[in-house]
């Protein structure tokens, strides 16, 4: 089945530094990937939709200059948290689906997530 891989799974950084998280679709091409943020004991908040070869679409309230998204190829999207602060500490999850098909056939597949801790 479709597999989405994220790296790193955990990262600790100092306040003010930047951190890059990679999301790869391992066995399918994804023109679109989604980045979610999961807060402790809360649901997943959609941050942005990453589009291969074009700019990402950010959800309302998400700072595009802080959370830089680059979808460089059909199998790779990256999320860079710039000038990270402790309040950016969270669990970031990417997802993608293989593409269109019969209704319900192409289900969104999630990466295992990346836990960012900013000291």
Partner 1 sequence: GNSVTQMEGPVTLSEEAFLTINCTYTATGYPSLFWYVQYPGEGLQLLLKATKADDKGSNKGFEATYRKETTSFHLEKGSVQVSDSAVYFCALSASNQAGTALIFGKGTTLSVSS
Please pick, from the candidates 14, 43, 54, 86, the single residue that binds partner 1 as defined by CB under 8 A.
43
Q: Does 100 bind partner 1 (CB under 8 A)?
A: yes
53 touches partner 1 (CB under 8 A): no
119 makes contact with partner 1 (CB under 8 A): no
Q: Is 61 in the site for partner 1 (CB under 8 A)?
A: no
Q: Which residues of 48-73 are buried (b: 16+ CB within 10 A; e: fewer)?
A: bbbebeeebebeeebeeeebbbebee
- Residue 104 contacts partner 1 per CB under 8 A: yes
According to the binding rule CB under 8 A, does residue 60 interact with partner 1?
A: no
Phi-psi region of 88 (alpha: psi -120 to 50; beta: other; left: phi over 0): alpha
CA distance 80 to 92: 11
Shortest Å, Cβ 5 to partner 1: 10
């Amino acid at each position: 089945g479709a597999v989405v891989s994220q790296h790193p799974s955990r990262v600790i950084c100092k306040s003010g530094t930047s951190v890059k998280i990679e999301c790869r679709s391992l066995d399918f091409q994804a023109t679109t990937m989604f980045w979610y943020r999961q807060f402790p004991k809360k649901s997943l908040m959609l941050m942005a939709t990453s589009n291969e070869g074009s700019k990402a679409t950010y959800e309302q309230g998400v700072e595009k200059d802080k959370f830089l998204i680059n979808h460089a190829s059909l199998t790779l999207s990256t999320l860079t948290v710039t000038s990270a602060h402790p309040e950016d500490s969270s669990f970031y999850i990417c997802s993608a689906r293989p593409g269109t098909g019969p209704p319900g056939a192409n289900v969104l597949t999630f990466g295992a997530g990346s836990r960012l801790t900013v000291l």
